[in-house]
Chains A and B, each alone.
Chain A
């Protein structure tokens, strides 16, 4: 039942299926309808489901995200699309102060089954207001779940997983992945939220990555393989909850670990993971942990500067060498 498709189409297919199966599901966001979606994920869905379910909103991130939360509180299963992670800051009040807190403030009377999707990441010379990777920030907030689909399969599966979840789920889609091709098997039982996936087994060093950096890590692992370093590459998939179990199991196996994170180092999800390894698996470490993050600058426009700022396979290989040699 598996077929070759793109990340974008896999996601669209999942949204289409969800909308066909559940009347309560609707998609709202800027230019999701008549324009076809700023990254064309929702292309064609307006024609199929009509403007009541594929809802073009004005440019009011807080307004339409809050409306999505309200709709979720009152029986709907909204998918809210925010054009890019930087714009989500305009909706941060609604996400943080309402979606994440209502369950707790109401002592369980209210749950918010909303799905908020947004593009994240750099690499298209879109400069400092369209290119950041703030998923690690959102992973800081109790009450939210944070997913980072990397593969075509997850692009598809995570829509369904998120919609089935009773609580707010944020999906961060790296904008460079929409055209990525991969295999999709719609008969596969999706790996649950909160489970990481070992993409490549290895015994010498664990490389933890998520989103587009999974592929950079896998490419780096190939290079390392040629040098005789057998890297284990793990797709974190979910930044909140983090799959401590899978992470620690791998650390216990390889005793060396590095993290690839497109966020900035300071206060990042990679910092959090390092802290957890320190808390839970310190005595398994055979070398200081390493990480490759985005340089601590607002993402610049010029291609060479942008490239220099981001994680890439060469940086991952170099860091792997450092971790391996530091014995």
Chain B
């Protein structure tokens, strides 16, 4: 374990992962109550990946995520109330109700959005990294995507360009074994995605995406590699989503037993075990964290409930930049 696991860090990771878990559970409830509409893709089971990666980043590093990005947004520090208000479609939402669950943006946190075209975010991350290099800014762009993106042409185009131009990109593949309802083995000739990335001459690792410490460790190493100018790094995080692909999914494609098996090694369970082994569990005061998280979520729901609807007169706002006085 290269990363020093102290109480503060432990508390932080636990807090972040629990925040995502409880937030997502609340979303299920609110979706069922028709407060949240559209597509809702939950991150439950994969919390360790966003937490491990993003808590290791510098605040100047940029994030490009997918449509399953509530967790990434929360870990990046976008206030839960602004995220919840966005899911409600309220004017107080982080995208003023124009993005919804799949399109969260907060440029002030260098969070460059949720993208709902699978693979569509990868070329953007390459371009952002290109800009940083051109402008001599020592920053990294992290790009999250699922195993489904690996079959897309844009995945290969982006990996090739990043490697070809030796750009500061950290590719994080959240391999939860299913592209919607199609298991990886039915989608890929080579199911070891890290191997595929390697073929582009990218430093590439397959890691346990259920272990937040392992993810954080790998991220720290990757960032060092990138900052040293050796080009992009590819992390394949093996993980699992405990809930359906989206709310409207009967999960015909997988066995309940398989889900149960993964739940046993879920990120919160795994982390608690590790902390107990290290003798830190009793020190982090899990009950207090639980209460804090609950309070944050309660506040977020209240904020969203009390939010206002964007004026329809402003519907056509944000199609083009405001007129710049010439």
Return the CB mask of B299-323 against A: 1 if under 8 Å, else 0: 0000000000000000001111110
Given contacts A97-B120, A102-B113, A143-B319, A74 and B128 within 8 Å (CB-CB): yes
With A63-B154, A69-B124, A94-B120: A106-B107 Cβ-Cβ less than 8 Å: yes
Verify B154–A26 contact, CB threshold 8 A. Answer: no
Also in contact, A166 and B128, with CB within 8 A (given A60-B161, A102-B113): no
* Partner among A63, A75, A143 whose Cβ is within 8 Å of the Cβ of B160: A63
Question: Which A residue sits closest to B155, measured CB to CB?
Answer: A63
Q: Are B319 and A104 in contact (CB under 8 A)?
A: yes
B143's nearest neighbour on chain A, judged by CB, is A70
B233 is an interface residue with CB less than 8 A from chain A: no
A104 near B154 with CB under 8 A, answer no
1/0 contact trace for B172-205 toward A, CB 8 Å? 0000000000000000000000000000000000
Given contacts A63-B154, A66-B126, A106-B99, contact A71 B131 (CB under 8 A): yes
Task: Kindly list chain B residues whose C-beta atoms are within 8 Å of the C-beta of A69.
Answer: 123-124, 127
The smallest C-beta distance from B90 to any residue of chain A, in angstroms, reads 12
Contact residues, A195-225 vs B (CB, 8 A): none
- Asked whether A76 lies within 8 Å of B318 as measured between CB atoms, the reply is no
A297 within 8 Å of B (CB atoms): no
Chain B: number of interface residues, binned into ranges = 35 or more
Checking A57, A107, A142 against B96 with a beta-carbon cut-off of 8 angstroms, the contacting residue is A107
Are A94 and B318 neighbours in the complex by a CB distance under 8 Å?
no
Across the interface, do A68 and B95 meet the contact criterion of CB distance under 8 Å?
A: no
Q: Report the separation of the CA atoms of residues A57 and B158 in the bound assembly, to the nearest whole angstrom.
A: 11
Say if the beta carbon of A111 comes within 8 Å of chain B. Answer: yes
Q: Is the CB of B123 within 8 A of A63?
A: yes
Q: Mark interface residues in B103-122 (1 if CB within 8 Å of A CB, else 0).
A: 10111000011010100101
Set B98, B124, B161: member contacting A57, Cβ < 8 A = B161
Does A62 sit within 8 A of B, measured CB to CB? yes
Q: Please state if A66 and B112 are interface contacts (CB–CB under 8 Å).
A: no
Residues facing B in A70-85 (CB within 8 A) are 70-76, 78
Cβ-defined contact, B124 with A109, below 8 A = no
Are the CB atoms of B120 and A66 closer together than 8 Å?
yes
Closest to B91 in A: A107
Residue of B nearest to A97 (CB): B117
For B160, the chain A residues whose CB sits under 8 A away are 58, 60, 63
Check A4 for interface membership: any CB of B closer than 8 A: no
Query: B135 near A: Cβ within 8 Å?
Result: yes
In-complex Cβ contact of A105 among B62, B113, B130, B131 (8 A): B113
Instruction: Determine the distance from Cα of A166 to Cα of B126 in the docked complex, in whole angstroms.
Output: 21
CB-nearest residue of chain A to B134 = A76
Does any Cβ of A come within 8 Å of B153's Cβ? yes
| Residue B49, interface by CB 8 Å | no
A70 in contact with B125 (CB, 8 Å): yes
Most buried by B among A24, A66, A73: A66
**A18 CB, min distance to chain B CBs, angstroms:** 15
Alpha-carbon distance A102/B318, docked complex (angstroms): 9
- When distances are taken between beta carbons in the complex, the residues of chain B under 8 Å from A78 are 127
Measured between beta carbons, the chain A residues less than 8 angstroms from B95 are: 105-107, 109
CB distance from B139 to the nearest CB of A (A): 9
| A94 to B161 Cα, complex, angstroms | 15
Establish whether residues A67 and B319, one from each chain, have CB atoms under 8 Å apart when the complex forms: no
Asked if B105 and A104 make an inter-chain contact with CB atoms under 8 angstroms apart, the answer reads: no
Q: Is B217 interfacial (CB-CB < 8 Å)?
A: no
> Which among A52, A73, A167 is the interface contact of B134 at CB below 8 angstroms?
A52
Enumerate B214-257 residues with CB–CB distance to A below 8 Å.
none
B259 within 8 A of A: no
> Contact: A62 with B123, CB < 8 Å?
yes
The chain B residue sitting closest to A168, CB to CB, is B320
Q: Smallest Cβ distance from B96 to chain A, in angstroms?
A: 4
Task: Please give me the 10 A-B residue pairs with the lowest Cβ-Cβ distance, nearest first.
Answer: A70-B127, A66-B123, A63-B157, A67-B127, A74-B131, A60-B157, A106-B105, A70-B124, A166-B321, A107-B96
Show 13 A/B contacts (Cβ-Cβ < 8 Å), sorted by A: A64-B123, A64-B157, A66-B157, A67-B123, A67-B158, A69-B124, A70-B131, A73-B131, A94-B124, A97-B117, A98-B115, A103-B318, A109-B105
Name B residues whose Cβ lies closer than 8 Å to a Cβ of A. 62, 64, 94-96, 98-99, 103, 105-107, 112-113, 115, 117, 120, 122-132, 134-135, 141, 153-154, 157-158, 160-161, 164, 317-322, 324
